[in-house]
Chains A and B, each alone.
Chain A
Amino acid sequence: GAGVSQSPSNKVTEKGKDVELRCDPISGHTALYWYRQRLGQGLEFLIYFQGNSAPDKSGLPSDRFSAERTGESVSTLTIQRTQQEDSAVYLCASSPGVPGTQYFGPGTRLLVL
């Protein structure tokens, strides 16, 4: 079956612009996660969705970051007024409910000029 998909695969934007990153999880997966990975660094947890609700937003770096999920499916991560330090790979993962079994998408590589 289809895996987790993310779009766009690459995004170059100018400082101050808003960007939207999309994640399509594996069908039927109730849990969805967003991570950020800076070059040469580990995975930084951003937010977790169970269904359409986000019980844990503790990893969002600032109020410029927001995310939503609709229909217990697609999720969108929005970064407003992008800054150069937002440049990273943004990874989405979904899980059928077993916490460790996370399936990752290919990521969106964001470059803020």
Chain B
Amino acid sequence: QKEVEQNSGPLSVPEGAIASLNCTYSDRGSQSFFWYRQYSGKSPELIMSIYSNGDKEDGRFTAQLNKASQYVSLLIRDSQPSDSATYLCAVKWSGGSNYKLTFGKGTLLTVNP
């Protein structure tokens, strides 16, 4: 059973701090990783994708991938109250289908003003 694990939280950080969200996955051969943000009562939206080991930055967001340790993380710098949402990690498994993503259950982030 291939799994994507996330701490459900809630993770609470003060405004302006760095929020760190972590995700581990079970398939060592996985190649593609995605972070989706889901506001309460809304549908998920893609915010970051990462395919290679290391860091990928996009504005205040940085995705970090470590395939040897099988984890992917999302850092949010200068956190804002508007970043308060559930963050979903998604993984495309190696081999087999090339279309299917498996989502973690998400981490609820609360940024306090």
Contacts and interface: CB of A to CB of B under 8 A. Distances in A.
A22 B43 CA distance: 16
A102 B46 contact: yes
A48 B99 contact: yes
A103 B104 CA distance: 17
A78 B22 CA distance: 36
Contacts, number: 51
B60 interface: no
Interface string A75-98: 000000000000000010001000
- Residue of A50, A91, A102 contacting most chain B CB atoms (<10 Å): A102
A101 interface: yes
Sorting the interface of chain A by its residue count into under 10, 10 to 19, 20 to 34 or 35 or more gives 20 to 34
A43 interface: yes
Contact of B105 (A31, A42, A103): A42
Interface string A11-42: 00000000000000000000100000000011
Contact of B88 (A42, A48, A101): A42
A43 B49 contact: no
Given A91-B43, A102-B46, A104-B43, A42 B92 contact: no
Nearest to A101: B46
B105 A41 contact: yes
A55 B33 CA distance: 22
A32 to B, nearest CB: 10
B43 A101 contact: no
**Residue from A50, A100, A103, A107 with most neighbouring chain B CB atoms (10 Å):** A100
Interface of B: 32-34, 42-46, 49, 88, 90, 92, 97-106
9 contacts: A31-B99, A42-B88, A43-B44, A56-B100, A91-B43, A99-B98, A100-B32, A100-B33, A102-B46
Given A48-B100, A100-B33, A106-B43, 16 more contacts: A41-B105, A42-B103, A43-B44, A43-B88, A45-B100, A45-B102, A45-B103, A48-B97, A55-B97, A56-B100, A95-B99, A99-B32, A99-B100, A100-B32, A100-B101, A102-B46
